Amino acid sequence: MAVTSTFSINTFTSSKGLKAGGALSSLFQVTVSSLPAGVANLDQMLYLTKGANLPTSAIDTTEVSFMGRPLKIPMNRASQDWTTSVYNDEGMEIRGILEEWMRLISSHQTNVRSEDHIAINTYTGTLNVEQFGKDGSATGNKYTFHKAWPSTLTEIALSWDTNEIETYDVTWAYSYWFSDKIKS
């Protein structure tokens, strides 16, 4: 069987393939563009977010049966949680701000929301993750998470056996996201 000319490394690296060599997962930044009242500035997220992901896109399904055969029907768009990994600074500034944000939503002692944060718009913020090209330019791959709030802060492992900067994950719940490349 003869190999066609489209099955070549030149085709793969041309405009039909990875002409710029592919996107690098290390070229990104996470920013917070709005916060609820009473939550301190999270500008350091730009520098201390060591990992994130582009969001999952999911549509829930339901099944109906017709003459014994299941048929999947699309339902509503589903928002999956979003996770970021953060380097911990010695003052635990970001973690402290996130713990306070979570306390305003539901306090440890009373399990009650702060009276200034009852409506959803008063306890949620807006987060962004943006990718960059190898030359440092914005690629237009920016995702914005609306009505977001921290739902989980993971533990920080402490150990005499390691000599590494502490990290922890933040799981964010949100109402919806959109990308600069799609219409809302």
Higher-confidence residue: 7 or 85? 85
Per-residue pLDDT, averaged over 66-88, amounts to: 94
Q: What's residue 5's pLDDT?
A: 58
The answer on pLDDT for 1 being more than 60 is no
Low-confidence winner among 5-9, 22-26, 109-113, 165-169 (lowest mean pLDDT): 5-9
Q: Is-contact 161 179, C-beta < 8 A?
A: no
- Helix (H, G, I), strand (E, B), or coil: what is residue 136? coil
- 15: exposed, middle or buried (Cβ count in 10 Å: 0-12, 13-18, 19+): exposed
Query: What's the CA gap between 66 and 55, in Å, rounded?
Result: 34
pLDDT tens digits, residue range 113-168? 888 888 888 899 999 999 999 989 888 889 999 999 999 999 999 999 999 999 99
Closest CA to 30 of 77, 98, 123, 78: 98
Q: What's residue 108's pLDDT?
A: 86
Q: What's residue 184's pLDDT?
A: 61
Query: What's the CA gap between 81 and 150, in Å, rounded?
Result: 10
DSSP H helical segments within the chain, as ranges?
A: 9-12, 45-48, 93-105, 120-123
Per-residue pLDDT, averaged over 27-56, amounts to: 94
pLDDT tens digits, residue range 15-36? 666 777 788 999 999 999 999 9
Which DSSP symbol is given to 116? G
Q: Is-contact 54 145, C-beta < 8 A?
A: no
- Please report the domains of the chain, with CATH numbers, ordered by start residue: 23-179 (2.30.110)
User: Given 3-state DSSP classes, what are the helix, strand and coil percentages for the chain, each rounded to the nearest 5?
Assistant: 15, 40, 45
